[in-house]
């Protein structure tokens, strides 16, 4: 079938909860993808950080193929030989003490919410049913009913209620508002160290340190959603590492599956995750042999430090190049993760992504911004190719 036939088939038979660009991809390698017509595109989205190691990284594909020939699923009613090593290696990489494997990022966040509430009742002494969690405005933690209950995005919330209670929303980056919102019933503060869907928003310097202090002062858990920001995307294994701050719980995912299958986890303090007892929480596919084998291969790649270094060095180059472009009002982000704020009066919105696709670059727009988050295997020359395409679409060159 040609691309138009594929698009027509998807339009007829799939739910219309996405509005993809009119490109039908069939192959990928490194930072590049190829469509059904044989045209190649530079990937500047990387599956929202799920493809940190690029498409079909040889070490990850090899791990998946080897495990496919051995064992793919057991359920958690039994042990398997990949589970314990995966949990230990992920904990050692991240400097945490215990791992609860899951599948999607949203599932990891939901699991962290459950753990925090259980801890509040068992350890902090919050009355049953009264636990509260403080979150930030403009957050994005997933699409489940509980998570959208504390979203401030009308598109995520409208006509999906009634909503789950127990959440208080404060402005992101405002430590005083956060402190004022905490009560004796507060179980946790749940934040993204860098807000992804809000436009790759980096909080004010010192904010995350203040969050940690506020949580310490009030016997409240700090839960960091590192599903997008974690696993080398920002130039450190975890984005909180840049601030020298430790969370009590982290939600990680996306890149943990190596772009091959969904793998996520809640990681953190053993005395917090340890409140869970048999039968209180579970997942049929969470921690399955395939997921653990690929996850272990991901951890081995991260343990070398190569990808963290690539994100730091190439990220600085990417930000420098983007900041030089005419038509750019601001560049936000950290590492190989940038949000380009398009200047007023310049072309913005979906038409920018469509024009970039015509130039062989796949990216994602959001209102007046352009999200640039390539696989960490990208090279300088490939960054130049992508930035030059953006310059051409914005209708300007470089600032003098």
Active site residues: 140, 225, 254
Q: Where are the alpha helices (DSSP H) in the chain?
A: 3-13, 58-68, 83-94, 105-119, 145-148, 154-157, 175-181, 207-218, 270-273, 289-303, 306-323, 350-358, 380-394
Q: What residues contact residue 274 under an 8 Å CB cut-off, 6+ apart? A: 98
The DSSP string of 136-153 is: ETT----SSHHHHTT---
Distance CA 192, CA 112 (A): 13
Distance CA 40, CA 285 (A): 34
215-245 burial, b at 16+ Cβ within 10 Å, e below that, comes to beeeebbbbbbbbbbbbbbbbbbbbbbbbeb
């Amino acid at each position: 079938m040609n691309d138009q036939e594929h698009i027509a088939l998807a339009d007829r038979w799939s739910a219309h909860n996405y509005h993809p660009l009119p490109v039908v991809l069939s192959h990928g390698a490194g930072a590049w993808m190829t469509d059904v017509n044989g045209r190649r595109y530079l990937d500047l989205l990387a599956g929202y950080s799920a493809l940190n190691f690029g498409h079909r990284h040889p070490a990850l594909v090899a791990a998946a193929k080897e495990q496919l020939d051995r064992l793919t699923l057991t359920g958690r009613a039994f042990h398997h030989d990949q589970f314990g090593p995966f949990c230990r290696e992920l904990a050692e990489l991240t400097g945490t003490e215990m791992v609860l494997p899951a599948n999607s990022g949203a599932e990891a966040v939901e699991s962290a919410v459950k753990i925090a509430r259980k801890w509040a009742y068992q350890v902090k002494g919050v009355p049953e049913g009264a636990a509260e969690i403080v979150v930030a405005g403009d957050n994005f933690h997933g699409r489940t009913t509980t998570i959208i209950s504390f979203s401030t995005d009308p598109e995520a919330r409208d006509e999906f209620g009634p909503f789950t209670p127990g959440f208080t929303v404060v402005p992101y980056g405002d430590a005083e508002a956060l402190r004022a919102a905490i009560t004796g019933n507060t179980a946790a503060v749940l934040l993204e160290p860098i807000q992804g869907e809000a436009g790759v928003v980096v909080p004010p310097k010192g904010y995350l340190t203040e969050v940690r202090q506020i949580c310490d002062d009030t016997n409240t858990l700090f839960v960091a959603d590192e599903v997008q920001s974690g696993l080398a995307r920002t130039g450190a294994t975890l984005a909180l590492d840049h601030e020298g701050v430790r969370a009590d719980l982290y939600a990680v995912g996306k890149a943990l599956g190596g772009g091959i299958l969904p793998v996520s986890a809640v990681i953190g303090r053993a005395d917090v995750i340890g409140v869970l007892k048999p039968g209180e929480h579970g997942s049929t596919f969470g921690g399955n042999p395939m997921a653990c084998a690929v996850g272990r291969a991901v951890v081995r790649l991260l343990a070398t430090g190569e990808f963290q270094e690539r994100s730091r060095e190439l990220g600085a180059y990417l930000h420098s190049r983007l900041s030089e472009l005419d038509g750019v009002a601001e560049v936000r982000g950290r590492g190989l993760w940038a949000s380009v704020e398009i200047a007023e009066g310049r072309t913005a919105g979906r038409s920018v992504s469509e024009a970039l696709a015509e130039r062989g670059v796949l990216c994602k727009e959001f209102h007046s911004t352009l999200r640039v988050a390539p696989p960490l295997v990208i090279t300088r020359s490939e960054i130049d190719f992508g930035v030059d395409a953006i310059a051409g679409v914005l209708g300007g060159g470089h600032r003098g």
